[in-house]
Amino acid sequence: MIDRRTEVGHWVGRLETILISRGVLSEGGELAIQVGSKFPEEIEDALDGFIENPIELLGLLKICRDARDGRPLSPAVLMAAHLMAREVLQALDSQAAGDFRA
């Protein structure tokens, strides 16, 4: 059986690292760009169809952090976060020539 909570917790760390290296998040995990602004073009291209704006990304990161930290999540929310985090990480990792394995 897949431990979705553990996977999401691992993936959110990788997502944060990628987003920090690309200037989207600060070292503290907060948005480094204006909330109402758009992503940098390379991030926007990679996330096209998954995440439309920084607010949506913050929502996904919050849920993933909650999963990592053991906070209660409904099974449906955990399943959706697991799927979205995986897809977003694959999109960003493939752009960075990473070695993601689902």
pLDDT in tens, 46-89: 988 888 888 899 999 999 999 999 999 999 999 999 999 999 99
User: What are the boundaries of each domain within the chain?
Assistant: 4-96
Q: For the full predicted model, state whether its pTM sits above 0.75.
A: yes
Q: Position of tokens 């995986």?
A: 86
How many angstroms from the chain centroid is the CA of residue 20? Answer: 11
